[in-house]
Amino acid sequence: MKKQIRTGGIGFYVLILAIIFMAVYVSGAFRQGSDNSYNIYQFEKDLGNGTVQSVEVFPNEEVPTGEVKVVLNSKKTISFYVSDVNKIGDLIDGYKDIEKNYVVNDIQKPSWVITTLLPYGLAIIGIFFLFSFLSAQSAGASGGNAKMMNFGKSRAQRIDPGEHAKKFKDVAGLKEEKEELEEIVDFLANPAKYTGIGARIPKGILLVGPPGTGKTLLAKAVAGEAGVPFFSLSGSDFVEMFVGVGASRVRDMFAEAKKNAPCIVFIDEIDAVARKRGSGLGGGHDEREQTLNQMLVEMDGFGVNEGIIVMAATNRVDILDPAILRPGRFDRRVTVGRPDVRGREEILQVHAKGKPLGDDVDLKKIAQTTVGFTGADLENLMNEAAIACAKDGRKFIEQEDISKSFIKVGIGKEKKSKIISEKDKKITAYHEAGHAILFHVLPDVGPVHMVSVIPTGGGAAGYTMPLPDRDEMFITKGKMMQDVIVSLGGRIAESLIFDDVTTGASQDIKQATATAKDMVTKYGFSDDIGMINYADEDEVFIGRDFGHTSRGYSEDVAKTIDHEVKKIIDEAYTKAKQILEDHMDILHSCAALLMEKERIDRKEFEALFGEDTQEPAEGEALIEEKLSEEDVQE
């Protein structure tokens, strides 16, 4: 019925208008209009001239008014209104020829269509339209159009077997993760194989990992491989401003899943609804907590949910409630980390499909130079390269496209059109040269990939991009110390050359301070502080109460922490300054080259040091001279 009303709505209104116009027309409302320039005096004159052929009078209900219709000898018909139709008869009296063609009509009464049919008809049509509208609203409530009627209904999107295009072959770089999830698919396909020997099918699988590592993609692949109904929704779909709605949606979701068991229920970003209870404002009656309580009961309570496997994804597992993480609810936790070099190459091959690559593009080399990139980062890298290629009107993606995209994704698009003064450009050149020299000399932070004095979209006046050539599982104390040293290189270069400093190193100082503070408070790299964690809480609302914001150590410890952080910064400053003073000629050469070319690559930069300086033995000897032995250990 709802569909018929929508498709026939225009015709319905046209029909009403047609009825009204017909009624008005029948009633005589539409008549030939009167000639405003013609009046009774002109009529009297035409009578005298003998040009009047016939006269017809139409009296109104408001006697003696009426309308006079005059036909002249020229066959022209003219109508005009008079205040007294009796005057027309008086004027015609004596004109024998006109009296023969003089007609006085009866007084016109309103048409029965206007007086009877139209009012009742409009009333009936109005009642019909009202009932049709109410019926449409009632039908919409069951179809999803009336939101007030379905707040408590689940918003899970159902995907039937065969509808999903993603398979495990489309997921690259996650070999072990796929193996774990393949077991889940096997559970659903052959449950008797496991229950026959007393095994219990896992009730929940939690996918944990940084953003962009492929957690949701894995869930889509499970949906494609399982061959069972797949219900997907996000954690925020449970949360509403009305109390009890979230819990009602959880009940409805599991009720629907029971009807379609065996099946998979996937909740993306579950941390939106499964945070620790008792945190923040709202207490135990908080809507989010009621939703979580209902989810805990549905997953492993008195009810039986055989054949339902719940999958969830989050990058904040640290804030989830412990009750939902225990065995019997989320039995397995699959960690989806950043891919290694082999995984990155496989991911690049997947995203390179459908993109014509030039002969100079080496995916293996790109994988080696994209340390720390997630699957989403690599997809974005290849997509930006394809966009740059299409923008230039070329048919094949070249290595230069990928190199530009690497800079755009990692730092921001260069703003070559931005006008900067020669003084600012010179300061930026020495600043970036200071960073670059330290990246090159120190063994654990380089090598340098690109140095530029072109402003970027991120607000930086220039940049120095290192390019790690290996994956590292651990960060050593020496590596973190070298990171601090490199961060201070730009400010030190400015002070050595210009005998003054600028605000351009503010972000470097912030980064160096944060690294030094982590070394002291989080990783136990300070002898005076020892191996005690004094790091601040990341999030206030995870605490047991709202006012829990005080630090967990005394003023004496805080003073010692400040002293140790300053000690690390001062030590790094001294070593960075010594290295730059020893390479003052290269600092000038690098700055001059940057002033000339604005951007130099690794080959051009390393050429400034000469061939001998790149030998490993001499490089190690130089570091041993500049850094103490304990700094380059672990």
Cα separation, 17 vs 22, whole angstroms: 9
pLDDT for the residue numbered 208: 93
- pTM for this predicted structure: 0.65
Q: Is 28 annotated as a binding residue?
A: no
216 is in an annotated binding site: yes
Q: Tell me if residue 558 falls in helix, strand or coil.
A: helix
Written out in words, the top-level CATH class of the domain with range 341-410 is mainly alpha
Spell 194-210 as b/e; 16+ CB within 10 A means b: eeeeeeebbbbbbbbbe
Distance CA 518, CA 182 (A): 39
Give residue 518's pLDDT: 94
Q: How many angstroms separate the CA atoms of 353 and 154, rounded? A: 37
Could you tell me if 611 and 453 are in contact, meaning their C-beta atoms sit under 8 angstroms apart?
no
DSSP-derived secondary structure for 614-625: G-HHHHHHHHHH
Q: What's the pLDDT score for residue 483?
A: 94
What is 422-632's CATH number? 1.20.58.760
**Three-state SS at 67:** strand
For 427-471, the DSSP string reads HHHHHHHHHHHHHHHSTTT--EEEEE-S-BTTS-S-EEEE---S-
φ/ψ (deg, to 5) at 202: -55, 140
The CATH fold assigned to 157-335 is Rossmann fold (3.40.50)
Does 214 belong to an annotated binding site? yes
Q: 555-592: per-residue pLDDT in tens?
A: 999 999 999 999 999 999 999 999 999 999 999 999 99
Is 212 one of the annotated binding-site residues? yes
pLDDT at 543: 42
Positive or negative, the CA dihedral 91, 93, 96, 98 is positive
* Other CB atoms within 10 A of residue 7 CB: 9
The response to whether 215 counts as a known ligand-binding position is yes
Q: Determine if residue 431 is labeled as part of a ligand binding site.
A: yes
Q: Which residues of the chain have pLDDT under 50?
A: 1-8, 29-33, 141-146, 282-285, 539-548, 611-634
The set of catalytic residues is 432
Predicted confidence (pLDDT) per residue in 219-230, tens digit: 888 878 877 888
pLDDT of 279-313, one tens digit each? 655 444 467 788 888 888 888 765 566 778 889 99
The ranges assigned to domains in the chain are 28-104, 157-335, 341-410, 422-632
Establish whether 173 is an annotated binding residue: no
Strand partners, 464: 451
The pLDDT value recorded for residue 2 is 39
pLDDT reported for residue 133: 67
Flag whether 560 is marked binding: no
